[in-house]
Amino acid sequence: MPIDPADLPAMQTTEQLAERMGIELVTLSLEEVVGRMPVAGNKQPFGLLHGGASAVLAETLGSTLSALHALPERFPVGLELACTHHRSATGGYVTGVARPIHVGRSTSTTEIVITGEDGRRTCTAKLTCLHRDTQP
């Protein structure tokens, strides 16, 4: 049985990557998790949003969605992440929307679509999580 988003255990944010990158969770539900991240501070040397930053946003949102479906009986860990970068972002925020593709007992797969402030898609990612019996 999925966990109620209100019962999601508090994540330790001090000295964690999502906090360092400025990632904010906006909405949580079993159907989607939405979050955003500033481009400033997450750029590569040429002034564009770093592709690795998009990957961190995608994995953060996808893992959170998997946690909503797996906890408290099972604990999700990332197994595979694939990102396709479509266009650059140079300022403002990017927003990611994670939606489940498959939710099973032992794995879940999520699609994460990241868009810039202009609404245009900057990245499409797919995350598969393994649902472990115990917390690592």
Length of the chain, in residues:
136
Tokens of 71: 């906890």
The active-site residue, picked from 15, 32, 59, 80, is 59
Is 32 noted as a catalytic residue in this protein?
no
User: Are the CB atoms for 122 and 96 separated by under 8 Å?
Assistant: no
Active site residues: 59
